[in-house]
A and B are shown apart, each in its own frame.
Chain A
Amino acid sequence: MSPTPDETIGTSFEVDTNIYSLEAIKKSAYRFADRAGVDLSFVASNKIQVTLVPSCKNAVDLQQMVSEFRSELLDQDLREIIKRETAPIRNLILAHAFSRTRLVQQE
């Protein structure tokens, strides 16, 4: 997963999809829209190549950007755990919270 920096076209690195889901990778990429163009492509069945091309060419720290992308992947991974584990209770709470209001249409 070592990045290959190139000041003109950005930098690329690989992410293992056995560790991070495709959804986590895509969500991380979406968050970079203000800083970089992001290209994702499979380079092996379990490897995604992420290419970050900074929107602003002036004095961009590519290593820093890669580090932030990796931190974002970890955050997204934790979010997936919370979402998975709390889905039933979340739906129950919301259904209960909105019951007996006029907002829920009776079938």
Chain B
Amino acid sequence: MASVFKEEDQFEPVTGSYKLLPFRFSRLDDKRYVAVNECGEHQVLRPLDLETFVRGKLSPHVEHYTLLKAKHFLSDSSSQIGPDLLTLKVRTKRDRIANFTSLHMFVVTLRCNHSCLYCQVSRQSEDRIAFDMTEEMADRALDFTFKSPSPAIKIEFQGGESLLNFPLIRHIVLAAETRNLTEKRDLAFVIATNLSPVTDEILEFCREHNIYLSTSLDGPEDLHNGNRPNPTRDSYAVTIEGINRARAILGEDKISALMTTTKASLPRITEIVDEYVKQGFHGIFLRNLSPYGFAIKTRYYGQYDSEEWLSFYRKGLDYIIELNKQGIRFSEYYTALILRKMLTPYGTGFVNLQSPAGVGIAGIIFNYNGEVYPSDEARMKAEMGDKVFCMGHLLKNTYEDIMLSPALLTPLEESIPESAPMCEECAFLPYCGADPDYHYATQGDFLGHKALSGFCKKNMGVFRYIIRKLADDPDARRILESWVAW
């Protein structure tokens, strides 16, 4: 009996009948390449497979043909939907650009009671109230904040030690909430603090107004005290006591901690992670030093290079994955936000991995004296005497003057990775971003030569390591996938 249906192979594309969809590729290691398309889908390929694919000779019967098709690297006669899906994912990935600024940082004081050797800020002693932001200035900063079209507004209080000017924080929170009765934004507050000035009264206020705390914890007691000295030489004990008090009043999830990697941290990654586990945290952000402020003056920055930090990061990630295999749920946050870019169609709000650069667009900072900067790092540069990034002044310039200032637009325009040498052809471009502050600080221009860039070396190393873990270790892959926040 004759079949009314054609044989299955009649529906299959023939070799060479596919069209390439846009993607970039880079070397993953000595034996493999990784191809990544505009929406961040990736595929690891052997050199011969990559060349065969690009030259249009890939057989539809090999496994990676199906994978490349499913991930929108090619389209063929059997399905034309690839380009449309790719478009939707690209649009989703870039959605945040249209929302504009969400993170607004208020430097409520430059005063500080710690003398951290890697501090990025030129801090002032506790009694110098000339370095406090005034209420008038804070009100102007709030006018500015609510001019952003972003449906989500996060206000972060920075210092110095921000809680040394808690009366101003209270004023800003209450005023922002009043404005938000009509603005109806998704409003959130974060106080960055070393926790030493924290009192029950402050914590009660934080609880009533749903304020998050972000503190610093560098690792075990001797490491933390060495990195972050205070006059009573007990900054670790003060921090841990503050974390516990904050948790008791605010709840477990209302306080997070950040670590900074110094040279002394490099051989101690497992102890640092263990300290975070011991203190009840569910993750850690492995953060390298930045070339700004006091860290330059004390020559702390430059004590290790990108390769040394990468080795620290790789050991840390391996150790954290091992902990997960033992049943301890714990993640590395930098990896997690990159995984979101790799494994979902969504972007992240992380300022340093945005294109165009996140400075000024994703986040903006109001200095205590009314000057507006595109990033925390840029205002630190100003404290060192270089005001190249100063966008204007809250009392002297309009919102439009400030947001259209050449101090913002020039770094943004000159650093766009899509038109930068090496970046425009780099597979990792959809995961990466521009960092004009870093390249200005290290190379004297906003773009920087990427072959000489520590930012590039660090991030390429991280991207490659994550992709190798995903490709080569199925257990690690399952754990890494569980870190992705949707």
Contacts and interface: CB of A to CB of B under 8 A. Distances in A.
Interface of A: 27, 30-34, 75-76, 78-79, 81-82, 85-86, 89-90, 92-94, 96-98, 101-103
Contacts of B449: 33
A30 B422 contact: yes
A33 B451 contact: yes
Contacts of A27: 421, 425
B22 A86 contact: yes
Interface residues of B, number: 28
Contact of A79 (B24, B86, B87): B24
A96 to B, nearest CB: 5
B55 interface: yes
A75 B50 CA distance: 10
A81 B54 contact: yes
A92 B425 CA distance: 19
Interface in B68-95: 83, 86-88, 90-91, 94
A94 B55 contact: no
A101 B96 CA distance: 11
Contacts of B422: 30-31
6 contacts: A33-B449, A34-B451, A78-B51, A93-B90, A98-B91, A102-B98
Contacts, number: 67
A44 B24 CA distance: 33
Interface string B48-73: 00110011000000000000000000
Contacts of A75: 25, 27
A33 B98 contact: no
A102 B413 CA distance: 18
Contact of B90 (A85, A86, A94): A94
A82 B20 contact: yes
Contact of A101 (B24, B98, B452): B98
A64 to B, nearest CB: 12
A94 B418 CA distance: 12
A97 B91 contact: yes
Nearest to A85: B20
A90 B22 contact: yes
Contacts of A34: 451-452
B21 interface: yes
Given A78-B51, A97-B87, A86 B98 contact: no
Contacts of B20: 82, 85-86
Given A78-B51, A81-B54, A82-B54, A97 B25 contact: no
3 smallest CB-CB distances across A and B, nearest first, come from: A90-B22, A33-B451, A86-B22
